[in-house]
Amino acid sequence: MKKIIVAIDGYSSCGKSTMAKALAKEVGYAYIDTGAMYRAVALFAKRLGFLTEQKIDEERLKKALTDIEISFRLNKDGVSETFLGEEKVEKMIRNMEMASGASRVSELKFVRQVLVAQQQAMGIEKGIVMDGRDIGTVVFPQAELKIFVTATPEIRAKRRYEELVAKGESVVFEEVLQGTIERDYRDTHRVESPLVQAADALILDNSEMSLAEQQEWLKNRFFEVCNE
Ligand code: DC
């Protein structure tokens, strides 16, 4: 069976990473969550004082980025976790503050250049499932299988809200919905690599689908391409 690159793009909180992770595990591919890389940059920038609510100190962030080391390591349960240098930052990047920070740093061309180069290096041997916003358009335009995932903002906000509540965060649904709409706007309207569907991507609207149905759908597409 041939080894391929699976590129999964789409709006925030549409279940891309859950699907991508499940497929990677099932077929023995590496899984890369590129959103986590932008979140790690946001955390890195915030800690250095280069990212505040008011502004981003682009000059200093650009210099500091030459030293950034983002990696993914499997924990003892086989789950991929994000590291900044030697520090596990998986939990720290999964909140609304880092989601918004990631959305802001992801608008910067130099940030995208650094991360895209790292992502391309990770896929050099194929056998990878990568999710994000620009994977099928910029990172791997040659990917053999491209999926563009979408669902209504209300459904995505509900999923994100339930996730955050389950993690013990105190959140208000309307604020999560507002955050989702604002991120959609920023992701699709930024100058650098806005979120767009690649011309050759398959669309998956999962508003009315269960997780099991989505995973089955993705697995079928994967084997169709691998067995071509
Ligand atoms: O998928 P996520 O919510 O973890 O992504 C966080 C932010 O990073 C999101 O607002 C868009 C940005 N992002 C991006 O611009 N390009 C990617 N390939 C992945 C994420």
What residue ranges define each of the domains in the chain, with the CATH number in brackets? 5-226 (3.40.50.300)
Asked whether the predicted pLDDT for residue 67 surpasses 90, the reply is no
Give the burial class of 173: count Cβ atoms within 10 A of its Cβ; 0-12 exposed, 13-18 middle, 19 or more buried.
middle
Report the separation in Å between the CA atom of 220 and the middle of ligand 1, taken as the mean of its atom positions.
Answer: 26
Report the separation in Å between the CA atom of 169 and the middle of ligand 1, taken as the mean of its atom positions.
Answer: 21
Residue (of 34, 33, 68, 35) closest to 50 by Cα position: 68
Phi-psi region of 10 (alpha: psi -120 to 50; beta: other; left: phi over 0): left
By alpha-carbon position, which residue is closest to atom 10 of ligand 1?
103
CA 19 – CA 8 distance, rounded (Å):
9
One-letter amino acid of 93? I
Which residue did the predictor score with more confidence, 26 or 169?
Answer: 26
Residue (of 214, 32, 207) closest to 135 by Cα position: 32
pLDDT at 13: 86
Mean per-residue pLDDT of the chain? 94
Reported pTM: 0.92
By alpha-carbon position, which residue is closest to atom 6 of ligand 1?
35
Asked whether the predicted pLDDT for residue 12 surpasses 90, the reply is no
Q: What is the mean pLDDT of residues 135-139?
A: 97
Residue (of 225, 7, 16, 3) closest to 116 by Cα position: 7
Report the separation in Å between the CA atom of 110 and the middle of ligand 1, taken as the mean of its atom positions.
Answer: 15
CA 13 – CA 151 distance, rounded (Å):
9
pLDDT at 95: 87
Q: What is the mean pLDDT of residues 190-197?
A: 92
CB of 132 sitting under 6 A from ligand 1: yes
Percent share of the chain, pLDDT over 70: 100
Strands 70-74 vs 80-84: parallel, antiparallel or unpaired: antiparallel
Ligand 1 atom nearest to CA at 9: 18
pLDDT at 186: 87
CB of 133 sitting under 6 A from ligand 1: yes
Model confidence at 203, pLDDT cuts 50, 70, 90, reads very high
Ligand 1 atom nearest to CA at 100: 10
Model confidence at 54, pLDDT cuts 50, 70, 90, reads very high
Report the separation in Å between the CA atom of 123 and the middle of ligand 1, taken as the mean of its atom positions.
Answer: 18
Percent share of the chain, pLDDT over 90: 87
pLDDT at 28: 94
Kindly give the residue spans of alpha helices, DSSP state H, lying in the chain: 16-27, 34-47, 58-64, 96-105, 109-122, 153-166, 173-189, 211-226
Residue (of 116, 111, 133, 130) closest to 183 by Cα position: 133
Report the separation in Å between the CA atom of 133 and the middle of ligand 1, taken as the mean of its atom positions.
Answer: 6
